[in-house]
């Protein structure tokens, strides 16, 4: 339920007061450890070879279509990009490690970090084919959202993508992000125009989403062949 607006001394509507609000902390670089994966601050020396191999499991470059960089012409180009990316603090890139193999198979970032307002974005989502549609991918998102809302107490987490990027849009909706609208002609990248779809989760929505994530990730939610017994969206609907 949305918070009710208030009025000022002139009778004009204003947003609800936030008594006791304080500036939030910047995200730490400590690892996040789950049942299926581990998140680490991106380190080119440790993660580059694994990520290169993971994205080379398909050779047509499709996983880079909606990112502002890639595919890379050779390993040296990818290495140079990764070295620069790993030094950034906003975006703060994380490698996603499959604990069964101890190899990095994808990455994403916390970015546009606004501690004053408690707003942060999850972006640069680069899930290799080894990560897509997997328990690891879902748990990675859960761990990062748990850091945003439970550990850092941010008020809002955003997800933005090319309006034509249907897999990204479906992923955002599956994870529980709410569609807010499309910003037309918002970005130029790779020589083309992009309309940007905006999604968000706000703090009051997180408790239900957290419970649904945890129920979905439970080993009991999967049968002997590894197929889910209940979908994440169904679990969200059942949480009271």
Cis before residue 71, ω within 30 degrees of 0? yes
Six token digits for residue 192: 């083309």
Cα–Cα dist 159/141, whole Å: 12
Cα–Cα dist 70/227, whole Å: 33
CA angle (51, 52, 57) in 5-degree steps: 95
CA distances from 76 to 46, 72, 79 (A): 15, 9, 5
- Fold held by 27-238: Aminopeptidase (3.40.630)
What pLDDT, on the 0 to 100 scale, is given for residue 3? 65
C-alpha torsion sign, points 103, 211, 171, 81 = negative
Per-residue pLDDT of the chain (240 residues; tens, 9 = 90+): 556 678 888 888 888 889 999 999 999 999 999 999 999 999 999 999 999 999 998 878 888 999 999 999 999 999 999 999 999 999 999 999 999 999 999 999 999 999 999 999 999 999 999 998 789 999 999 999 999 999 999 999 999 999 999 999 999 999 999 999 999 999 999 999 999 999 999 999 999 999 999 999 999 999 999 999 999 999 999 986
Q: How many CB atoms lie within 10 A of CB 7?
A: 9
pTM of the model: 0.94
Six token digits for residue 218: 């439970």
DSSP character at residue 220: G
Instruction: Return the domain boundaries, the chain.
Output: 27-238
Cα–Cα dist 208/85, whole Å: 34
User: Which long-range contacts (C-beta less than 8 Å, at least 24 apart) are formed by 55-60?
Assistant: 55/126, 55/128, 55/129, 57/128, 57/129, 57/130, 58/129
């Amino acid at each position: 339920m949305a918070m009710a607006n208030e009025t000022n001394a002139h009778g004009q509507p204003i947003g609800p007061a936030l008594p006791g609000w304080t500036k939030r902390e910047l995200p730490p670089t400590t690892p996040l450890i789950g049942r299926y994966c581990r998140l680490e601050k991106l380190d080119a020396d440790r993660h580059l070879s694994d990520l290169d191999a993971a994205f080379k499991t398909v050779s047509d470059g499709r996983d880079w279509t909606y990112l502002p960089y890639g595919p890379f012409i050779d390993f040296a180009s990818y290495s140079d990009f990764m070295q620069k990316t790993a030094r950034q603090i906003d975006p703060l890139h994380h490698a996603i490690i499959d604990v069964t193999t101890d190899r990095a198979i994808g990455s994403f970032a916390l970015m546009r970090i606004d501690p004053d307002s408690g707003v942060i974005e999850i972006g640069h989502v680069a899930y290799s084919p080894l990560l897509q549609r997997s328990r690891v991918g879902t748990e990675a998102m859960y761990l990062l959202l748990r850091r945003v809302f439970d550990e850092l107490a941010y008020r809002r987490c955003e997800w933005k993508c090319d309006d034509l990027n249907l897999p990204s849009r479906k992923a955002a909706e599956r994870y529980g992000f709410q569609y807010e609208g499309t910003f037309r002609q918002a970005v130029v990248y790779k020589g083309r125009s992009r309309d940007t779809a905006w999604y968000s989760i706000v703090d009051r929505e997180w408790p239900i989403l957290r419970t649904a994530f945890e129920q979905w990730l439970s080993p009991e939610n999967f049968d002997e062949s590894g197929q889910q017994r209940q979908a994440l969206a169904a679990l969200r609907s059942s949480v009271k």
